[in-house]
Structure 1
Amino acid sequence: MIIKEFCAENLTALHSLSSPDIRRVELCDNLAVGGTTPSYGVIKEANHYLHDKEISTAVMIRPRGGNFIYNDLELRAMEDDILQAVELGSDSLVLGVLTEDNQLDSDAIEQLLPATQGLPLVFHMAFDQIPIDQQFEAIDQLIAYGFTRILTHGHPDTKSDIFEHIDHIKSLIAYADNRIEIIIGGGVTTKNYEELCRLTGAAQVHGTQLV
């Protein structure tokens, strides 16, 4: 069964969702910059509403748009946002932190991990900024840190046609080998998600056009 994750930047579209068609919602704000952390009130109301519909939630932890290189002040804000999302009953957390040379920021991950309190972690499309030949090592590192999912478009340009990146996505899924879940997004719709899953071997899809 293919798991469909709807990406919502506010509460407006949630009334149109139903389980089991949509199994999970990634909750964020400001999709124009790729998504940032939603407000306390949005997280609280979305968790309550979606849990009543048996839909799980994944809350974006990202203090701003732009790159994924964060200073100490931003990381402390991310810690606070993580604690808040956990307190409000979120089912998983979505984050991504990189160094200036687009490697996983191990120091930042290790700083944030205690605040997550064991909640499932998703590494978002910041993953696609990692050089392609180093993404397999990054998968191993994320598994070691306890991440449960990676969201990928297969290419740093999320506006590019995802069908052009089928081979790379397929190689990532094969390498992950069920040790970590790979969820594909960026141009995934109700019309093409089944074909994309067939071509790549993906079992999870993500997007704003899945309803």
Structure 2
Amino acid sequence: MLLKEACVENFTNIPAALQAGAKRIELNDNLTVGGTTVSRGVMAEATRYVHENDASVVAMIRPRGGNFVYSDTELKIMEADLFVAQELGVDAVTFGALTQDGWLDEEAMENLIAASAGMTVVMHMAFDAIPEAKQAAAIDWLAAHDVSRILTHGGPLTESIEATTPHLKELVTLAQGKLEILPGGGITAANVEAVTAAIGVNQAHGTKIVTIA
């Protein structure tokens, strides 16, 4: 069974996405910058609606667009948003914090993971900013710290999903038995079945993963 995770901006398209076959919703604001955290009101209503329709919701935890190197104040904001998500019954949260030299910000990630207690933790496409030579070690670190899933394009978003498929297959092999690889970026309702078959996964993510009339 192929699980389609629809990446949406606020509540507007959630009913149509679920109707079109999405079984998981990644909830964002500001998709033009790659997604940031929605308001409490949006998160509450989206979670209620998604659960009533037998699907699950993933909340983006990101205080701004741009890079993934965060100040102490930004990390406090992210922790506060994680507590809100927890309070509202969100199923999963997605975030990523890096150091200036392109490695996981281990202290920040440990604190954010601790604040996510009871929710599934997903590392988002900040993973793709980690040099490929360090990605195997990053998978091991994330798996050891209870991260369940990595959302990745397998390379820069300027490259097509077809071009990054070989690396995505490598990541699936590296992650086997440790955590799940969720491909995203350039995956649409038209190519999702071919892409997931080529990579060897049964789930995919995208803003156009289902056709919304």
TM, length-normalised to structure 2: 0.96
Is the counterpart of residue 174 in structure 1 residue 180 in structure 2? no
Structure 1 residue 7: Cα displacement: 0.3
Match of 2:99 in 1: 99
Structure 1 residue 114: Cα displacement: 2.4
Q: Judging changes above 3 Å, is the alpha-carbon distance between structure 1 residues 196 and 178 closer, same or farther for their aligned structure 2 residues?
A: farther
- Determine the C-alpha separation between the residues in 1 that align with 2:43 and 2:36: 12
Whether the 8 Å contact between 1:159 and 1:187 is mirrored in structure 2 is no
The 5-angstrom pairing of residues 64-83 of structure 1 reads 64-83=64-83
Structure 1 residue 18: Cα displacement: 2.9
> What amino acid sits opposite 1:123 in the alignment?
M
Match of 1:128 in 2: 128
Structure 1 residue 118: Cα displacement: 3.0
Whether the 8 Å contact between 1:29 and 1:36 is mirrored in structure 2 is yes
The 5-angstrom pairing of residues 27-176 of structure 1 reads 27-155=27-155, 157-176=156-175
| SS, match of residue 69 in structure 1 | coil
Q: Deviations over 1:63-122 (max 9, x none)?
A: 000000001100011110000011011000000100001101101012222211231100
> What amino acid sits opposite 1:71 in the alignment?
S
- Determine the C-alpha separation between the residues in 2 that align with 1:144 and 1:52: 33
> What amino acid sits opposite 2:182 in the alignment?
I
Whether the 8 Å contact between 1:19 and 1:53 is mirrored in structure 2 is no
> What amino acid sits opposite 1:179 in the alignment?
K
Which 4+ residue blocks in structure 1 deviate beyond 2 angstroms?
Answer: 17-21
Q: How many residues are matched? A: 210
- Determine the C-alpha separation between the residues in 1 that align with 2:96 and 2:89: 21
Moved more, 59-68 or 17-26: 17-26
Unaligned runs of 5+ in 2: none
> What amino acid sits opposite 2:164 in the alignment?
H
- Measured on the aligned residues, the alpha-carbon RMSD in Å equals 1.2
Whether the 8 Å contact between 1:151 and 1:183 is mirrored in structure 2 is yes
Match of 2:21 in 1: 21
Match of 1:195 in 2: 194
| SS, match of residue 77 in structure 1 | helix
- Determine the C-alpha separation between the residues in 1 that align with 2:132 and 2:111: 26
> What amino acid sits opposite 1:153 in the alignment?
H
Whether the 8 Å contact between 1:19 and 1:54 is mirrored in structure 2 is no
- Determine the C-alpha separation between the residues in 2 that align with 1:114 and 1:176: 22
Q: Judging changes above 3 Å, is the alpha-carbon distance between structure 1 residues 181 and 18 closer, same or farther for their aligned structure 2 residues?
A: same
| SS, match of residue 18 in structure 2 | coil
Whether the 8 Å contact between 2:86 and 2:118 is mirrored in structure 1 is no
Match of 2:206 in 1: 207
- Determine the C-alpha separation between the residues in 1 that align with 2:67 and 2:12: 28
Unaligned runs of 5+ in 1: none
Structure 1 residue 3: Cα displacement: 1.0
Q: Deviations over 1:117-173 (max 9, x none)?
A: 231100000000000011011000000110000000011x21321100111000000
Structure 1 residue 33: Cα displacement: 0.4
